[in-house]
A = this chain, B = another copy of it.
């Protein structure tokens, strides 16, 4: 999917919401456990209910991988289902991969050839040749970790007052590996106040923002500091949407939550004159 197509979908749906499929088999409604593939049924229910309100969808690969080969079958079915029924949804493999070049090439194959993801999250620790193999697929995106939402981000990525924080070095260096047509960055919503600094380095890139809801980030703060003239934001909510309700009504509850967020996002887009 191109950057223009993504922006077009944001305008069409009046939303920059990404729904995170952290589909923990131990947390899905008990009523689904009689299905042949309970997590796939759950994912279908969530996607069908929320598709009108989301522009992106982000399966967290650990939740599938932790179930072994069966989890990978569920993941593949989920990807195929979304691509077939909702081709305008930007599909992100939240995998945080990254290895030496010949190995990253195989991770790229896993997510871009064997499955039709539009983007994959990549960890930058190993540098340029661990990232560029993911950039060899036209229309596919690297979503590089910059400043993450968790407490441990303070260990290496960021030190208060340090102008040379690692996350800034990652942004500055990686800008030359790709451009805003195939690179995005992960910035945690819990670090919204730092989005202004980030926008000085990457004013036009899209940012994938996890961490609103369960992790404590605020949508208003993220938009205030991070929005740009092409929106430039994909804001993710996982648990807050998909586990809004644990009964057979889970999909309806997810729809309500996604619609609430879409309405807030529409107001922000409108206020900034983007609609």
> Within 8 Å CB of A109, what residues of B?
66
Copies in the complex: 2
Q: Nearest Cβ in chain B — how far from A99, in angstroms?
A: 5
> Within 8 Å CB of A97, what residues of B?
62, 96
A267 at the interface (CB under 8 A from B): no
The number of chain A residues with a CB under 8 A from chain B is 54
**Stretch in contact with the other chain, from A41-49, A67-75, A196-204:** A67-75
Q: Nearest Cβ in chain B — how far from A172, in angstroms?
A: 11
A123 at the interface (CB under 8 A from B): yes
A246 at the interface (CB under 8 A from B): no
**Which residue numbers of A lie inside 8 Å of B, CB to CB?**
22, 24, 60, 62-63, 65-70, 72-73, 76, 94, 96-101, 103-104, 106-107, 109-110, 114-115, 123-131, 145, 148-157, 166, 169-170, 173, 215
Q: Which of B24, B72, B106, B150 contacts A127 (CB 8 A)?
A: B150
